[in-house]
Amino acid sequence: MRSVLLRLALVCGAIAASLVTVPVSASAQSSAQSSAAAHNPVVFVHGWAGADWNWNPLMDDFVADGWRRDRLFSWSYDWSLSNVTIAQRLAAKVDRVLAETGASHVDIVAHSMGSLSSRWYIKFLGGQDKVDNWISLAGPNHGTILSSACSWVLASCRDMKIGSDFLDALNDGDETPGDVHYRTLWSWCDEFITPDSSVILAGADNVRVGCVEHAYFLISGQISQRVRDYLR
């Protein structure tokens, strides 16, 4: 896991170093700002062993494509905690975003374990009334066998075990409740989500995206484009 995160940091650094600022006309800026105002605020929820900076490349793509930076919200949380506790903190984060922006709804984009806490928030903590779109990037929605390596010590890992009490409660009944638009993106060569089919949710638009490694969901150009297209 640490080696993957280090590789992700190096790739993100290379991307940041290669960014070029392109002058934009006043009329184009006005048009982009007008379009951005129509977008819901987006809350990005990182995964296990992650942090808010994981989302920098994707958020930069959003801004370059017309979204306003002040309507994009990444945040860091203690990923060792149970996903129920993380979901409670996410609920508070969403409320702060709605108060700050004056919006009535948010969109949520979650990577990996962030899919679990955000689903718990939607299903059990009132999120159905506050979330329009939910997108899961490589989420262990039905668990992953690799969680056994740390499940004996961390609550978050226990939650990700296939057949855990947490997952049984989360997936009991309707896996995609309410009027939220649910979408999952999954890869057949994701080295951390095993089995790959764990990502798929009944009632969601489940999209197989080809061969994308787990951490690369955060920096892949094709994934970024798909996410932005879905949220337009």
Of 66, 68, 230, the closest CA to residue 136 belongs to: 230
| Range list of β-strands (E), the chain | 42-45, 72-75, 106-111, 131-137, 181-186, 205-208
pLDDT digits (tens, 9 = 90+) for 79-103: 999 999 999 999 999 999 999 999 9
* Domains in the chain with CATH codes: 2-11+41-231 (3.40.50.1820)
pLDDT digits (tens, 9 = 90+) for 43-83: 999 999 999 999 999 999 999 999 999 999 999 999 999 99
